Amino acid sequence: MLGLAVTLAAPLATPAFTAEEAPPRLLLPPVAPMPADGRYLAADRLRFMIDHDEDQIRLRFIGSDEVFYLSSEPAPLGGRVLKYDSGDVALQVAGWGGVTLYTAEEKEGIPAERADDADDFDPKPVAAKDLKAFAAKLAQSIVADLDFAVGFAADWDRLALASAEKARALAVDSMRNAAYAVALVAKSPKRGIADKFHLVRVVEAAQPGLKLQEGTLTVAYAPQLGPQGRPSSLAIARVLEAAL
């Protein structure tokens, strides 16, 4: 009987890599850079400005005094998405640096490109002595433009103190943003806002917040959180729209 010889193959050895020959790695695209400061063109006209305040990205539309503080999230293919405090997308930055602007009118987005520097980003501050007149002017504008009455209330004496400069700036922003929000909702298909409230009250709190109850819209601002410690007009408009 013939013997059957069987030769077992040795197991394949795992290749060893030297320090000079590191194993191949999956290369991830770099995260898109933040958009540069300056004025931006979109659809052949100046539309908005971008500014960095320490680690905060700020956006302001041309012709408006509202300053939006945007949050940043990574996007596919090394991109970046910048959002309002309402959660809506404001800007998208592609991995190669291209910027796209999103608005209520351009929900699909329109390309934007930097045009020049922006040396007047911050709106003019409101002095303590002018605070009540500022609120009265906002109320008059709402009556003239939208044909219904809205008053503004605050702790005027507290805000007039020299030590209340930060709180006063946020109270101004809160009133201004509320006026912009009223205009957004009143001009939208959902009308009837005049029946829902007639007073905007701005108050200091630990966190920014919004509440619409018994005809009063309460807007809370938080000085300890810095300039972004107040709701935007878009966040306020969401609360008003929900009540319609």
Show me where the domains of the chain are located: 38-116, 128-243
* pLDDT on residue 191: 61
Beta-strand runs (E) in the chain: 38-42, 45-53, 56-61, 68-75, 79-83, 89-93, 99-101, 110-116, 151-153, 199-204, 209-213, 216-221
Helix and strand numbers, DSSP H then E, in the chain = 4, 12
* pLDDT on residue 55: 82
* Residues 188-204 pLDDT 10s: 765 677 777 899 999 99
- Distance between alpha carbon 187 and the CA centroid of its chain, in Å? 21
Widest Cα–Cα separation across the chain? 116
Alpha-helix residue ranges (DSSP H) falling in 81-154: 131-146
**Residue 5 pLDDT more than 60?**
no
**Residue 28 pLDDT more than 70?**
no
Two tokens at 134? 């500022």
Q: What rounded mean pLDDT belongs to the chain?
A: 87
- In the block, which residue shows the tokens 């300056």? 38
Asked whether the beta carbons of 89 and 83 are under 8 A apart, the reply is: yes
* Residues 134-177 pLDDT 10s: 999 999 999 999 888 999 999 999 999 999 999 999 999 999 99
Q: What is the mean pLDDT of residues 53-75?
A: 93
Q: What is the mean pLDDT of residues 226-242?
A: 95
Two tokens at 138? 């906002």
Rg (CA), the chain: 27
* pLDDT on residue 198: 92
β-sheet bridge partners, residue 80? 74, 93
Q: What is the mean pLDDT of residues 31-38?
A: 82
pTM equals 0.84
Q: What CA–CA distance (Å, rounded) separates 218 from 180? A: 15
Q: Give the residue, 29 or 156, on which the prediction is more confident.
A: 156
Q: What is the DSSP letter of 230?
A: S
**Which range, 21-30, 54-63, 73-82, 163-172, has the best average confidence (pLDDT)?**
163-172
